[in-house]
Amino acid sequence: MVGVIRRARDISDADFLNALAIARGLRPNYEGASRWDVASVLGGYEDLVIARSRDPLLADKTIVPGVDNQAVLAKARKLIRAGKITGCGCGCAGFFTAAGELPAYHAWPA
C-alpha cells in the first residue's frame, strides 16, 4: 500500500512493479494483471485480487478507496512506453506483465 493515489506521479516505478508482481502472484491463472488488480494491491486490498482469482465472474472494474484508476492507467502507459512492462494501455483490463515475463496463456507457442 502506498497511500492516496490521485495522479500517475504518486506511483513510483518500483511501487507499480512491486504491486504488479504481487497481483500476478495472487492471480497466477489470469493473463497478466488487470489494472484493477494493480490498483487493489496499491491500495492495500490484496483480498480483492484473491477474490477475483477464485471467482472469474466477479466484476473486475473495482473502485479501490484512495486509488484513482485513471492514475494507475496513466502510470501503466508510461511504463509500457518505457519498456518496463508489457500490456495494453487502451483502457481495457491491461493484462500487464513485467517486461520479459510471458503472459500466463501465452507461455507456449500457439
User: Applying CB under 5 A, which part among 13-21, 29-37, 65-73, 90-98 lies near Zn ion?
Assistant: 90-98
Run of H or E including 86: strand 85-86
Least Å from the CB of residue 13 to Zn ion: 21
Biggest CA–CA distance in the chain, Å, is 41
Cell of 44: 492495500
Give the C-alpha separation, 28 to 63, whole Å: 22
Q: Which residue in the set 88, 98, 103, 104 belongs to the binding site for Zn ion (CB under 5 A)? A: 88
Least Å from the CB of residue 84 to Zn ion: 18
- Is there binding between residue 61 and Zn ion (CB under 5 A)? no
- Is there binding between residue 90 and Zn ion (CB under 5 A)? yes
Q: Which bin fits 94, alpha (ψ -120 to 50), beta or left (φ > 0)?
A: left
Least Å from the CB of residue 76 to Zn ion: 10
Q: Which chain residues interact with Zn ion by CB under 5 A?
A: 88, 90, 92
